[in-house]
Amino acid sequence: MKDIVLVHELTKLLVALIFGAIIGAEREYKSKAAGFRTVILIMVGSTLFTIVSQLIGGEDRVASNIVTGIGFLGAGSIFREGVNVKGMTTATTIWIAAAIGMTIGLGKFSLAFGSLVIVMLVLLSFTWIQRLIEKKNKVETYHITFDAKHTNDDKHLIDLFDTCKLRATCTKNTKINHKKLFVFTVQGPAANHHKLVKMLFEAPYISEFEV
């Protein structure tokens, strides 16, 4: 009887390993912070914690601690780049991987498999929708620097945005020595962004810029 129970619990861990590998492979392929081994260990770990919680009779308490621990892991994958926040998808993938692991630990294999299908559908099949959205409306942060003695260059900059039919909001305006730095959040079609970048390269009054 004990051997049967042991095999059942080991099966759960094996399923968690396979499911974690599937999600982790997609994250690794896209070079995300939480890659192949990380997602596997998260899913196997949450499965193991759930199994242990059933053995000691503290399912609710252990489950809440898993969620708290996963929250710390997810927060570690989120970082700020300028005015943009990145890593949100990786953080939520860590969160859902733990949830699937807990589902496996409870022995709900059908529910876990259905959740896996939904997760992979979002990560893979919905990418084209995101690209379509970016093609129609992409948001970029531009760091543009020019010599402060050219007092009208910021006006030329606004004219560039208007010419490229892009909506721009200045989020930072700094003067350092003889240089002026402008940070703009720019919104519009991806093709218009490409046009803007080309014009920024050609503009003689711009010292440097970064997107």
Q: Per-residue pLDDT averaged across 32-55, rounded?
A: 86
Residue 130 within any structural domain of the chain: no
Query: Is 186 a residue whose pLDDT tops 70?
Result: yes
Q: Which residue has the tokens 């046009």?
A: 195
Pick from 103, 77, 139, 90: which is nearest to 15 by CA? Answer: 103
pLDDT attached to residue 150: 61
Identify whether residues 111 and 196 lie together within a single domain: no
Residue 149 within any structural domain of the chain: yes
Identify whether residues 93 and 147 lie together within a single domain: no
Round to whole Å and give the CA distance between 30 and 133.
19
pLDDT in tens, 153-181: 667 788 888 888 898 888 888 877 778 88
Q: Per-residue pLDDT averaged across 94-103, rounded?
A: 91
pLDDT in tens, 127-161: 777 777 777 788 888 888 887 666 566 677 888 88
Identify whether residues 11 and 109 lie together within a single domain: yes
Residue 132 within any structural domain of the chain: no
For residue 169, what are its two tokens? 């909001």
Q: Per-residue pLDDT averaged across 17-34, rounded?
A: 85
Query: Is 120 a residue whose pLDDT tops 80?
Result: yes
Query: Is 82 a residue whose pLDDT tops 80?
Result: no
Round to whole Å and give the CA distance between 56 and 48.
12
- In terms of pLDDT, which residue wins out, 167 or 59? 167
- In terms of pLDDT, which residue wins out, 86 or 134? 134
Identify whether residues 116 and 146 lie together within a single domain: no
3 state SS of 86: strand
Identify whether residues 17 and 108 lie together within a single domain: yes
Q: Per-residue pLDDT averaged across 35-52, rounded?
A: 89
Identify whether residues 62 and 26 lie together within a single domain: yes
Identify whether residues 149 and 73 lie together within a single domain: no
Q: Which domain range does residue 190 map to?
A: 137-210
pTM over cut 0.75:
no
Identify whether residues 100 and 151 lie together within a single domain: no
pLDDT attached to residue 109: 94
For residue 153, what are its two tokens? 């260059």
Query: Is 75 a residue whose pLDDT tops 70?
Result: no
Identify whether residues 173 and 118 lie together within a single domain: no
pLDDT attached to residue 84: 53
Instruction: Decide: 142 and 188 in contact? Cβ < 8 Å.
Output: no
